[in-house]
Amino acid sequence: QVQLVESGGGLVQAGGSLRLSCAASGRTFSSYAMGWFRQAPGKEREFVVARSGGNTYYADSVKGRFTISRDNAKNTVYLQMNSLKPEDTAVYYCAAGIGPVTPQHRAVRPCEYDYWGQGTQVTVSS
């Protein structure tokens, strides 16, 4: 069983930055595909970014502003969010896939991931 715990959410003004962290349990963290999704009130869960093996996929809405990274020694994946906009406001979820999640048409689907964190709220004020 894998447990994911997100942190780093909060309230920020438009144009600001936040870094989300997702700490994972499990001895094989380095082999997991990792992704970030978000869900705004009244909307479906939306793909943000994923990294699987040597592949990284970004949603068009965040390309150039968000960056995913991982530290396998710390079993942690990060989401650096810059130039935040009010439309980025959502609960952000970390997800882990036991197997590879490629190509992109698979990485964007929540059903491809096996484990989920509880979410962290990001609010961007205008």
CB 15 within 8 A of CB 119: no
Q: Are 108 and 45 in contact (CB under 8 A)?
A: no
pLDDT in tens, 34-90: 999 999 999 999 999 999 989 999 999 999 999 999 999 999 999 999 999 999 999
For residue 80, which of 91, 64, 95 has the smallest C-alpha distance? Answer: 64
At residue 28, the pLDDT reads 80
pLDDT at 66: 98
